[in-house]
Amino acid sequence: MSNTSLQKCPSPDMPEFAFIGRSNVGKSSLINMLTNHKKLAKTSSRPGKTQLINHFLINETWYLVDLPGYGYAKVSKSHRNKFQAYITDYIINRPNLYCLFVLIDARHEAQKIDMEFIEWLGEKQIPFVLVFTKSDKLSKNQVSSNVANYKKHLKKSWEELPPILLSSAETGLGKEDILRFIAETEPNLNNSD
Ligand code: GTP
Ligand code: MG
C-alpha cells in the first residue's frame, strides 16, 4: 500500500520497521535485498524516486516501510515542506513503528542534514539504528575508517551511540544483521524465510 498520509496507512495492528535517509542512499534497494525481491520497492539512480509511504506486508505478520528520501534539492520548497509534514507525522505518531533504520552512505563524511535528522529523532525519543549503505563501493579499511569518523562526530552530542550496522544491496552484506535486529526487537515475528 502506498500513500501520503498517516491516516491512510494500513491499520497499525502489526509491528513495523521503516527505512529513511537521504535521497539515493539506497533505502529501496536495501528493502529489496532484505526481502529477496529485485523489484519490490522501486529504485532509481536518479534521486527522489520514492515519494510515498510504502508498506510491504511480510509473511502476513509485520511491515517493512519504504519512505521518501530527505535532502533532495530539486523538489520545490513547498513540496519539501509538505513532505516533511507527512513524514514527521508518520514517524512521531505511528503507534506500531518499532524502529527506524536511518541509512547513511558509507562513502561520505557526516552531513549536516543527517545529523539534524538524528538530533530530531533523539528529541522525539524515536528508536533508531544507523545503517551504512553501499559499503561494496569502498575497501573494508575505508568503511571502518569512515564509520569511526562518524562515531567520533556523533559522540559530540550523543552520550550513547545507537546500534550501527553495515550493508550492501549488491553483496547482501548486512542482511543477516538487520533481520536479526528486527527479530530480536520483536521475537514473535515470522521472518524465517
Ligand atoms: P530515493 O527513493 O530516491 O530516496 O532513493 P533510495 O534511497 O530509495 O535509493 P535507491 O534504492 O533507489 O538506490 C539509489 C541508487 O543507488 C540506485 O542506482 C541503486 O542501484 C544504487 N544502490 C543502492 N544501494 C546500493 C549498494 O548497496 N551498492 C551499490 N553499489 N549501489 C547501490
Ligand atoms: Mg527509494
| Domain spans of the chain, in order of start | 2-185
CA distance 72 to 81: 12
Say whether pLDDT at 94 is over 80.
yes
CA of 157 to the centre of ligand 2 (A): 29
- DSSP per-residue string spanning 116-136: HHHHHHHHHT--EEEEEE-GG
99 and 128 Cβ atoms separated by less than 8 Å: yes
Report the pLDDT value the prediction gives residue 74, as an integer from 0 to 100.
59
- 2-185 belongs to CATH 1.10.260.40: no
- Top mutation candidate among 44, 65, 108 for ligand 1, by most atoms within 8 Å of CB: 44
> How many angstroms separate the Cα of 26 from the Cα of each of 5, 23, 57, 85, 167?
23, 8, 20, 22, 10
- Around ligand 1, the residues with Cβ closer than 6 Å are 23-29, 43-45, 47-50, 68-69, 133-134, 136-137, 168-170
pTM: 0.93
CA distance 109 to 24: 16
Report the pLDDT value the prediction gives residue 53, as an integer from 0 to 100.
93
> How many angstroms separate the Cα of 50 from the Cα of each of 65, 95, 129, 135, 184?
11, 23, 21, 22, 28
pLDDT digits (tens, 9 = 90+) for 43-68: 988 888 888 899 999 999 999 999 98
Q: Which of 81-85, 87-91, 104-108 has the lowest mean pLDDT?
A: 81-85
Q: Looking at the CA of 105, which ligand is closest?
A: 1
Which set of grid coordinates corresponds to residue 144?
571502518
Which set of grid coordinates corresponds to residue 49?
524516486
Which set of grid coordinates corresponds to residue 121?
529523532
Say whether pLDDT at 105 is over 80.
yes
Please state, rounded to an integer, the average pLDDT across all residues of the chain.
Answer: 91
